[in-house]
């Protein structure tokens, strides 16, 4: 919320991600940015990887958006990431509106 309060809406996702890194570090919140995950299919590793925007506290998938609204495709993407990583919690944060829009997902 601090990032949105200071930067407001209308910037690119990359700007919000960089600012979030600063906030996480200054608040001693453990995180990994653009964490790579392997996708397996029938005991085979696929060459295509996916990269979660952030993994916070080693288990929370945090996806950052800067769009008009959180849509079903954003939810489906985050749920897929949660499933692949066996993470029970996901958060989508959309910085594009006057108020920070967030959606919490639980498996």
Residue 94 has pLDDT above 90, yes or no: yes
* Pairwise CA distance, residues 8 & 80, whole Å: 29
Mean pLDDT, residues 102-106: 96
Contact by Cβ (8 Å): 107, 82: yes
What values do phi and psi take at 29, rounded to 5?
Answer: -95, 120
Closest by Cα among 14, 17, 11 to 96? 11
Q: What is the pTM of this model?
A: 0.90
* Averaged pLDDT of the chain: 94
The 10s digit of each residue's pLDDT in 5-57 is 999 998 999 999 999 999 999 999 999 999 998 888 999 999 999 899 999 99
Query: Mind listing the domains of the chain with CATH numbers?
Result: 2-106 (3.90.320.10)
Residue 3 has pLDDT above 90, yes or no: yes
Q: Which residue has the tokens 């080693």?
A: 58
- Strand ranges in the chain using DSSP code E only, listed in sequence order: 31-41, 44-56, 60-65, 89-94, 101-106
């Amino acid at each position: 919320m601090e990032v949105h309060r200071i930067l407001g809406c209308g910037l690119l996702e990359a700007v919000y991600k960089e600012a979030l890194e600063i906030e996480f570090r200054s608040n001693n919140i453990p995180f990994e940015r653009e964490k790579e995950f392997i996708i397996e299919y029938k005991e085979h590793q696929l060459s295509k990887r996916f990269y979660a925007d952030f993994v916070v506290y080693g288990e929370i998938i945090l996806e950052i958006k800067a769009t008009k609204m959180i849509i079903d495709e954003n939810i489906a993407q985050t749920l897929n990431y949660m499933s692949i990583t066996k993470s029970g919690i996901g958060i989508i944060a959309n910085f594009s509106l006057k108020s920070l829009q967030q959606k919490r997902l639980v498996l």
